[in-house]
């Protein structure tokens, strides 16, 4: 009887092993990435996404970009998993879909940089409060799934200075051809248009910061990106808009706080 039971166990062992939860997944520290093209390092090196160079979740083996994920990996003893759900072109209204895909991975740390595409819509009526409501909803879902989650919320970058640097380096032709962020970068825009764009950008970041302050245990808002003045080396030469590899590394370097883990 004992011998029969033993061989029954051996025969069905592979089935039980396949059904058993993978312990590595349960012990991994999960870094989640939400946002737009900046967080997938669009056009930083080659055309399209270059997620290995993402300031947030990049795992560049050469460490040309020492991302938040790589910096966290150096601080912990657990295995680390990166789940990048950022999508190029995303506006804040698209965060719900990104969060839905991220939550099953049980993130411990989440980076969130979004809002530029909301500002760059050419004609739609828009208020900062509309975008902030989408971000708040995403944060609420993340905290609802894990009360201990740490969320790094970055301000929308200093796009006005980006325009100034690009204009000084012959980027207007590329901007006109690609129609990137026409409310700011089109040659048809007046100084008054750019002043209005700057007002909306400042309002969005201020409302984002105020919203983040209501989650002191879970959310750290970083305004560094709103005031940092990009150099020409920080900007992709493919589109004169997105961060280059150098720019991605600068974003990671100036925003990472080792205590926020």
The pLDDT, as a whole number, for residue 247 is 98
Across residues 217-235, what is the average pLDDT?
A: 97
The pLDDT, as a whole number, for residue 84 is 98
The pLDDT, as a whole number, for residue 27 is 86
Going by C-alpha positions, the residue among 55, 37, 81, 116 that lies closest to residue 255 is 55
Domains by residue range for the chain, with CATH: 28-255 (3.40.50.1110)
DSSP letter string, 44-85: SSSSS--GGG-TTT---TT-SS--HHHHHHTT-SS-EEEEE-
Q: For 182-209, what is each residue's pLDDT tens digit? A: 999 999 999 999 999 999 999 999 999 9
The pLDDT, as a whole number, for residue 131 is 97
Q: Predicted confidence band at 122 (pLDDT cuts at 50, 70, 90)?
A: low
Q: Predicted confidence band at 260 (pLDDT cuts at 50, 70, 90)?
A: confident
The pLDDT, as a whole number, for residue 93 is 96
Q: Predicted confidence band at 259 (pLDDT cuts at 50, 70, 90)?
A: confident
Across residues 10-33, what is the average pLDDT?
A: 54
pLDDT beyond 70 at 10: no
Query: Do the beta carbons of residue 69 and residue 57 sit within 8 Å?
Result: yes
Q: Predicted confidence band at 17 (pLDDT cuts at 50, 70, 90)?
A: very low
Gap between the Cα atoms of 66 and 48, Å rounded: 20
How far, CA to CA in Å, does 92 sit from each of 100, 101, 244?
A: 14, 15, 23
Q: Predicted confidence band at 121 (pLDDT cuts at 50, 70, 90)?
A: confident
Across residues 145-162, what is the average pLDDT?
A: 97
């Amino acid at each position: 009887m004992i011998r029969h039971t033993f061989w029954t166990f051996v025969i069905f062992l592979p089935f039980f092993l396949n059904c058993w939860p993978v312990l590595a997944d349960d012990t991994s520290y999960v870094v989640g990435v939400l946002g737009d093209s900046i967080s997938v390092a669009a056009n930083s090196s080659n055309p399209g996404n270059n997620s290995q160079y993402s300031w947030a979740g990049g795992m560049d083996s050469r460490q040309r970009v020492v991302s938040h994920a790589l910096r966290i990996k150096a601080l912990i003893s657990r295995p680390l998993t990166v789940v990048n759900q950022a999508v190029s072109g995303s506006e804040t209204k698209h965060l719900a879909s990104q969060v839905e895909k991220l939550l099953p991975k049980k993130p411990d740390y989440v980076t969130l940089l979004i809002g530029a595409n909301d500002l760059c819509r050419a004609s739609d009526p828009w208020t900062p409060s509309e975008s902030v409501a989408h971000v708040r909803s995403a944060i609420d879902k993340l905290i609802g799934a894990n009360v201990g989650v740490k969320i790094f919320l970055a301000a929308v970058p200093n796009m006005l200075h980006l325009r100034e640097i690009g204009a000084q380096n012959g980027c207007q032709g590329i901007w006109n051809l690609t129609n990137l962020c026409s409310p700011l970068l089109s040659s048809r825009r007046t100084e008054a248009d750019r002043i209005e764009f700057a007002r909306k950008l400042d309002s969005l970041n201020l409302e984002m910061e105020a919203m983040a302050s209501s989650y002191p245990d879970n959310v750290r808002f970083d305004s560094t990106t709103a005031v940092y003045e990009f150099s020409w080396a920080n900007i992709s030469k493919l589109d004169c808009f997105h961060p280059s590899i150098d720019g991605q590394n600068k974003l990671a370097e100036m925003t990472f706080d080792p205590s926020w883990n």
